[in-house]
Structure 1
Amino acid sequence: MTATKVTLGDVSIAYRDSGGVDPIPVVLVHGMGGDGHTWDHFARSLIQGDRRVIIPDLRGHGRSAHTASYLFDEFGDDVARLCENLELTKVDLVGHSLGGYAVSRVAANDPDLVRRLVIEECPLPLRPGDTPTSMTGRFPSPPELWHAASSVLRHPRTVLAFDRSMTKSALAQFRKPNPQWWDQLSDITASTLILYGGAGGMVDPVKLEAVLAALNDCRAMRFKSGHSIHRDRYSDFEMAVLPFLMAS
């Protein structure tokens, strides 16, 4: 899969597209600090199942351009514009962490576009009245530390390409209530699978119950991993997600 760049609004976004005749492509969206290569293993499994796979690098990541603004909703807008640019009329969306937030916004803003939605370890936004939680007190588990270190060796460009200026903006957004996200949650009509980890995960169980209550067609699965299930428990991830995406 060769990277292609396209200008979407005010930013140049890089993406890879496996091509093929699949009428419902799978769009895989990475989390903050990574890039689309985090999905390479899973993409191969999807392609072997005759699925078309599209993998963007979010703004400020990978081969996509850096910008002056990194509002969370803008990441979702970029994914939606990419789908429009590629003239996609129906997609399955998979997003990890920040990518999970991005795909949730696409599914809420354009319900007719999204057939199936997978949200992996997305830190759920605060509701009005919620007490802000610290995003800095979480210590990575040994497997996460190992994978992070080895990822630097395998994909040094990922680390070098990441625009670290977005970190301050991200932390500020995590600490603010996001009533719009909660208000529009019920607009999602896609069949939805939410994946969350155990110790070291970033999904608040109380807010997760509220999400499950708001969505008509949604189930959640817990994994024995931290924040990156598809990386640290890949076999379990594939066993859960592949059948969900392959179902007619």
Structure 2
Amino acid sequence: MGGDGATWNRFAQSLIRRGRRVIVPDLRGHGRSGRAADYSFATFADDLEALLDRLRLTRVDLVGHSLGGHTATLVAQRRGDAVRKLVVEEAPLPLRPGDPPPVLGGAPSPRELLHALSSIVRHPRAAWAFDRSMTAPALTQFRTPDPAWWSALASVTADVLLVVGGLTGMVDRERLAAAVAGLPRSRVVAVDSGHSVHRDRFEEFRTAVEPFLDGL
């Protein structure tokens, strides 16, 4: 949340030099995309699926960060035949039934505030275009148990790379282990970074992700 496609420019150019076709959409309420009345996670996935259909893309690799990473997992769950490789960078994992509720309720955590402030400093144009009305519903959804997401992990047929940051990241390690156990073809790369690995530790991100996308 709060970023736009421009944060991917450096990585996109690197992939293009390797002969890849790269499409960088802004999620609804971000960057150049319009604001919306509905910011449910399902609608973000609906938009991405509609883009695949509009461009007649039948086989893709998806790379997503944070909310974008979660959106990518939903599409991979829905369209196992279309998603070949899935890279999920620092996407907060949904609560499982029985997980303790967050202490902060609906307020942003210190880690989330740190990331938001750093995003405003580094990408002021994107922060200006961001629809802040999505913040509360997005945090609520991440902090509400989602058993359907967990049960649908087994339907993901893509190879999955989970990129996680360090102590100031937002991925719960216990739920990460559960997600890996539920994904048939997955592995984890940990980088000593904050929430934005591709932004703050670009070379480490690129070195991990490009060979994965190449199939090595």
Residue of structure 2 in register with 1:159 after alignment: 127
The CA distance in 2 between the partners of 1:105 and 1:194, in whole Å, is: 14
Cα separation, partners in 2 of 1:46 and 1:83, compared to 1, 3 Å: same
CA deviation profile, 1:114-173 (whole Å, cap 9, x unmatched): 000000000000111111234623247989855641322xxx2x1221111111111221
In structure 2, what is the Cα distance between the partners aligned to 1:137 and 1:63?
A: 27
Post-superposition CA distance 1:161-197 (Å, at most 9, x none): 1111111111221221111101101100000000001
The question of 1:85 aligning with 2:54 is answered yes
Q: Which residue of 1 aligns with 2:7?
A: 38
The 1-side partners of 2:110 and 2:74 are apart by 26
- Separation in 2 of the partners of 1:146 and 1:101? 21
| Equivalent in the alignment of 1:218 | 186
Residues 144 and 232, structure 1, Cα contact 8 Å, conserved in 2: no
1:60-79 alignment to 2 at 5 Å?
60-79=29-48
RMSD: 1.8
Instruction: Work out whether residues 165 and 191 of structure 2, in 8 Å CA contact, stay in contact via their aligned partners in 1.
Output: yes
Runs (4+) of structure 1 moved beyond 6 Å? Answer: 140-144
Which residue identity is paired with 1:226? G
Matched, 1:118 2:87: yes
1:174 to 126, 142, 149: 142
* Number of aligned residue pairs: 213
Distance 1:232 1:141, change over 3 A: farther
Offset at residue 62 of structure 1 (A) = 0.8
* Aligned position for 2:109: 137
User: Superposed, which structure 2 residues align to 1:173-212 within 5 Å?
Assistant: 173-212=141-180
Where does residue 231 of structure 1 map in the other structure?
199
- Gapped regions of structure 2 (runs ≥ 5): none
Report the Cα distance in structure 1 between the residues aligned to 2:114 and 2:33, rounded to whole angstroms: 30
More strand by share: 1
User: Counting helix residues as a fraction of each chain, which structure ranks higher?
Assistant: 2
Q: Do the aligned partners of 1:138 and 1:200 also contact (CA within 8 Å) in 2?
A: no
The answer to whether structure 1 residue 50 and structure 2 residue 19 are counterparts is yes
Structure 1's unaligned 5+ residue stretches are 1-31
Per chain length, whose mean CA-contact separation is higher, i.e. which structure has more relative contact order (CA < 8 Å, sep 6+)?
2
Please give the TM-score of this superposition, normalised by the length of structure 2: 0.93
Alpha-carbon distance in structure 1 between the residues aligned to 2:111 and 2:95: 21
Give distance in 2, aligned partners of 1:147 and 1:63: 17
Provide the identity percentage: 51
